[in-house]
Chains A and B, each alone.
Chain A
Amino acid sequence: MERIIYLDNGATTKLDPEVLSAMLPYFSEKYGNAASLHAKGIEAKDALENARKAIAKSINADAEEIIFTSGGTESNNFALKGIAFANKEIGNHIITTKIEHKCILESCEWLEKQGFKITYLNVDKEGFINLEELEKAITPKTILVSIMQGNNEIGTINDIFAIGKICQKYNVPFHTDACQSYTKTELDVKKMNLSLVTINAHKIHGPKGVGALFIKKGTKIKKWQHGGPHEFDFRAGTENVAGIVGFAKAVELAQKEKHKAYMTKLRDKLIAGTLEIPDVILNGPKGDKRLCNNANFSFKGIEGEAIGGYLDSYGICSSTGSACSSIRLEPSHVLKAIGRTHEEANGSLRLTLSRFNSEEEIDFVLEKLPIVVNKLRAISPIYKVINRVLKKSD
């Protein structure tokens, strides 16, 4: 197979070989059910609880506050629906933002149909919420604020510490979806006054199908998946022991500070090099308020899926927010929320790094990308028109 340069780590990541090694015994000799009382069960239970402790420690939580789930989508669904139905006597209002992951937005739309009221906060042109707007949106009927930490498309890291302070002031539970930001930026549930946090494994070189929801002690939440009393009776179902062991190992490996610095260096090189191409804009902020592994651009006059398709033929894996590539033929809701035009959203390309990428790979991308962009612009019926308009406004 030809060389693959994997720059779609926002979608999923490669399993770290050390994670795989840690998991393997739990598929073979350590096959017990963690709920069983015999030796094989205790073996599995010990592994499960050690993983829980390690993950709890990584966000400054207690072990009993970590509930393992099947991933980010389940954790987010559980957080929103579980809080909504447990607190409907107190109020029916939830605050979120326009740039959340679809599993938050779709859950909110469903809750609206069940009679809940949702406020979708605006974001500025870099993807940041306005703290005053948040404070004004809180009413006595507000039962939850759910705001993601790091945005999956444009990399914006919202100020979870400041948002937590506001939620504390009004005594409203605060949930954050930290799937993209976990281990890439600080996450401390006590310091940030968080009641609920969604994290998962496959964005950090762990296995797919494993996630967790942090639920602060005393939080009123309704059980959503019924059956046995697993996970402190919050979530029924036999635990995915191998996956959970892999999750904990992935966290241990990802936490190393040097990875952050390394990815930041590659990211900044990629951004600077790409911005040298004419008529390109960066989507999302620059600097330390951007996820260390995220770059997202809009190329004028060409369509993102075409750019990605061309890069794919060189073995470079990317993604786009173009309408063309989505099943609904709608451009990215995040790019629309930050005020990008349809054309800019359709011309978007997301490149997301990992610690496994090399500087040499970034050089290769920066060599190929201008060629691809020029080729597509040469056959675009709109690029020259845009260019003329640009020149006029100079």
Chain B
Amino acid sequence: MYSKKVIEIFKNPKYAGRIKNADAIGTVGNIKCGDKIQVFLKVKDKKIEDIKFQTYGCPAAISTSDTLCKLVKGKTLEEAEKMTYKDIIEDLGEVPKIKYHCSIMGMEALHKAIANYRKKVRK
């Protein structure tokens, strides 16, 4: 069902974990559907200095979360906001269509985290 690349990332995610004193956190999903993704951000000079994730979900949810982090680390907030789930799928290669929603959720978690960060900074 999954490509070797998806399984490899799923088994050894590089960005899994939490950031202590994160500047912002974005959470989406619920346990009922079987997916919950949480993204932690560290922001410096409007850039994503560090990013980590925690994911409850299937191999696709975990590997797309990790790929998301890889793609946006070092990017400006504006650049990250313009990205979509398609960027994740493109980078990962083969992902079953039924699992696209996992990457959509990951992107939503990131965008939520950025929105939370902007709200916080404005205050």
**CB within 8 Å of A: which B48-73 residues:** 53-59, 61-62
Contact A306 B16 (CB under 8 A): no
Q: Please give the distance in Å from A368's CB to the nearest CB on chain B.
A: 12
Contact A342–B32 (Cβ < 8 Å) = yes
Of the candidate stretches A4-12, A48-56, A102-110, A297-305, the one touching chain B is A297-305
A379's nearest neighbour on chain B, judged by CB, is B16
Q: Select the stretch in B7-15, B74-82, B85-93, B111-119 that faces chain A.
A: B7-15
Collect the chain B residues with CB atoms within 8 Å of residue A370's CB: none
Any A CB within 8 A of the CB of B103: no
- Interface set, chain A 310-330, CB cutoff 8 A to B: 310, 313, 322-325, 327, 329
Other-chain residue from A302, A303, A381 in contact with B38 (beta carbon distance below 8 A):
A381
- Contact assessment for B11 and A313 in the assembled complex, using a CB-CB cutoff below 8 Å: yes
Verify if A331 is at the interface (C-beta below 8 Å from B): yes
Q: Contact between A346 and B34 (Cβ–Cβ < 8 Å)?
A: yes
Q: Does A380 interact with chain B (Cβ within 8 Å)?
A: yes
Q: Are B33 and A323 in contact (CB under 8 A)?
A: yes
Say yes or no for A378: interface residue by CB 8 A criterion. yes
Q: Which residues from A are CB-within-8-Å of B23?
A: none
Interface string of B1-43 (1 = CB under 8 A from A): 0100001001101001100000000010001111111100000
Q: Is A378 within 8 A of B11, CB to CB?
A: no
Known: A322-B34, A342-B32, A346-B31. A303 touches B11 (CB 8 A): no
- Known contacts A303-B57, A306-B10, A306-B62; is-contact A324 B31 (Cβ 8 Å): no
**Pick the contact of A309 from B2, B32, B34, B35 — CB < 8 Å?**
B2
Decide if B34 touches A378 in the complex (CB within 8 Å). no
Partner of A343, one of B17, B31, B37, B98: B31
Q: Could you list 14 further interchain pairs (A-B, Cβ under 8 angstroms) beyond the known A303-B35, A303-B57, A313-B11?
A: A303-B56, A303-B58, A306-B59, A306-B61, A309-B58, A331-B34, A346-B31, A379-B13, A379-B16, A380-B56, A381-B37, A381-B55, A381-B56, A382-B31
Residues of A within 8 A of B11 (CB): 310, 313
Chain A minimum-CB-distance residue to B25 = A381
Asked if B56 and A309 sit within 8 Å, CB to CB, the answer is no
Closest approach, in angstroms, between the C-beta of B65 and any C-beta of chain A?
9
Residues on the B chain within 8 Å of A331, using CB: 34
8 Å CB contact of A381 from B7, B33, B54, B58: B54
**Are B31 and A342 neighbours in the complex by a CB distance under 8 Å?**
yes
B66: min CB distance to chain A, Å: 9
**B interface, how many residues as a size bin?**
20 to 34
A324 B7 Cβ-Cβ under 8 A: no
Docked complex: A344-386 residues within 8 A CB-CB of B: 346, 378-383
Q: Are A301 and B56 in contact (CB under 8 A)?
A: yes
Q: How far is the CA of A379 from the CA of B38 in the complex (A)?
A: 10
Q: How far is the CA of A306 from the CA of B62 in the complex (A)?
A: 8
Query: For residue A329, which residues in chain B have a CB less than 8 angstroms away from its CB?
Result: 33-34
Tell me the complex Cα distance, A305–B31, Å. Answer: 14
The residues of B that contact A305 with a CB separation of less than 8 Å are 34, 58-59
For B33, what are the chain A residues with a Cβ–Cβ distance below 8 Å?
323-324, 329
Task: Scan residues 202-261 of chain A and give those whose CB is less than 8 A from a CB of chain B.
Answer: none
* Chain A contact surface mostly: helix
CA distance A378 to B62 in the complex (A): 12
Q: Sorted from nearest, which 8 A-B pairs have the closest CB atoms?
A: A381-B54, A324-B34, A305-B58, A309-B59, A379-B16, A381-B38, A324-B58, A346-B34
CB-defined contacts of A343 to chain B, threshold 8 Å: 31-32
The smallest C-beta distance from A229 to any residue of chain B, in angstroms, reads: 44
Which residue, of A301, A302, A313, A331, has the highest number of chain B Cβ atoms within 10 A?
A: A313
Q: Which residues of A contact B17 (CB under 8 A)?
A: 379
- In the bound assembly, the distance between CA atoms of A382 and B62 in angstroms comes to 14
A380 CA to B55 CA, complexed, in Å: 5
Looking at the assembled complex, report how far the CB atom of B27 sits from the nearest CB atom of chain A, in whole angstroms. Answer: 7
How many angstroms from the CA of A323 to the CA of B102 in the assembled complex? 13
Q: Which residues of B contact A310 (CB under 8 A)?
A: 10-11, 59
Greatest chain A CB density within 10 A among B17, B36, B59, B98 is at B59
A–B Cβ pairs within 8 angstroms, 12 of them: A301-B56, A303-B34, A303-B35, A303-B56, A309-B2, A310-B11, A323-B32, A343-B31, A379-B16, A379-B62, A381-B54, A382-B56
Q: Is the CB of A324 within 8 A of B2?
A: no
Inter-subunit contact A322/B58 (CB<8 Å): yes
Task: Specify which chain A residues have a CB less than 8 angstroms from the CB of B31 in the assembled complex.
Answer: 342-343, 346, 382
- Give CA–CA (A383, B31) in the complex, Å: 11
A309-B2, A323-B34, A379-B16 as given contacts; A302 in contact with B7, CB under 8 Å: no
- Given the interface contacts A309-B10, A342-B32, does A327 sit within 8 Å of B98 by beta carbon? yes
Q: Which of A303, A322, A329, A381 is the most central at the interface, judged by chain B CB atoms within 10 Å of its CB?
A: A381
